[in-house]
Structure formats: C-alpha cells, structure tokens
Amino acid sequence: VVLAAYLGDAKKRKGLAGRSLVDLGSGTGVVALAAAALGAEVVATDRGDALAGLADLAARAPGVAVEALDFGDAPGPLVAAAAPTIACAADVLYPGYDFDVVPLLWRTLAALPSVDEFYLAFSHRDENSTPVTQLLMDCLRPQFPTISVCYRVENLVGHHSVIRFKK
C-alpha cells in the first residue's frame, strides 16, 4: 500500500502515463492496479503458485497483464515484449530470513536491461530490516548508481520506506 500511495503522489502521476512497468512479486496486485490507474502499461509478476488471484484481478483491470516470474529467473515473453522502463517490488524482503532473496532479485533486475528505475517498498519491522535492505542496495549499486529514499511513512504497524534506484 505504501508504494501504491507513493506512485499516486501528484508528482509521480505524470511520470507513469504511457510508460511500461513490471511489478515484481505483485502479491495482491495493489501496486499494479495503482500504476495502471495512473496510465502505465503493467505486467504483474509473481511465483506461479500465486498467480490465480492476480489473473482474476487483471481480467478486470485494463492495462494490467499477468505473468509467472520467480526471482532469479529470466523474464517471460510478456515482460520481455513490454520492455519495461520501471520495475517495482513491495514487501518482498522480510527481515531476518530473506538474505537469500537478495541475489535472486538482483539477477531478475539484471535480466531487464530496459529498466532504468526500480522502486523498492519495505517495512522496518525490526532491527534485522537494515542489513537485508543494505545488502540489496550494495548489490544494485553498480546497475543503479543513484539510490535515494523517496518516501517514508509511519503508522501503527511501523516505519515504511520507498527507495528509488536509478541508472
């Protein structure tokens, strides 16, 4: 929800219209729907076992296509044909046990040469949040040398951030 809120910010609305976006680990599809509503052509991706709900959602949402994509795998034909310039992932890193996801996510992003912006939303759930996020930033820095925290919010659940990675 935090990444969807950030994308809905008035400054970002102009930046999404007519662009192609891949939502990595789309889950419920909230970010994909928000981006499509703001004018982006979106391919929502997730593991094969998580696609049933996304496919149903995409059938009702213009501008959203769905394709299976596990982190670490090469993109499929829909993502490849879309040649996305923006990639995003929300709540795909979970502190304390997801260090193994970092190189897989890095590999997936490396297989998307058209992507020049990547947005990562995550929650600061506990003291283990920082090392996982720092590892991802270190892995992505050669591909995306400009890294900035572009959005922060605090609520009852905790602190949430969106990091922008730019070529």
Question: What residue type is assigned to position 49 of the chain?
Answer: D
pLDDT score of 42 more than 60? yes
* Single pTM value for the model: 0.90
Q: In this predicted structure, what is the pLDDT of residue 129? A: 61
**How far is the C-alpha of 59 from the C-alpha of 147, rounded, in Å?**
35
* Residue 116: C-alpha distances to residues 12, 73, 157, 167 (Å): 15, 19, 31, 5
**Phi, psi (5° rounding) for residue 19?**
-95, 160
* Residue 83: C-alpha distances to residues 3, 8, 22, 116, 118 (Å): 21, 22, 9, 11, 14
Q: How confident is the model at residue 97 (pLDDT cuts 50, 70, 90)?
A: low
**How far is the C-alpha of 24 from the C-alpha of 126, rounded, in Å?**
23
pLDDT score of 58 more than 90? no
pLDDT-wise least confident of 19-23, 59-63, 89-93, 129-133: 129-133
Question: Model confidence over 105-161: pLDDT tens digits?
Answer: 999 999 999 999 999 998 876 555 667 788 888 999 999 999 998 888 887 767 888
Stated as kind and residue range, the H or E segment containing 134 is helix 129-140
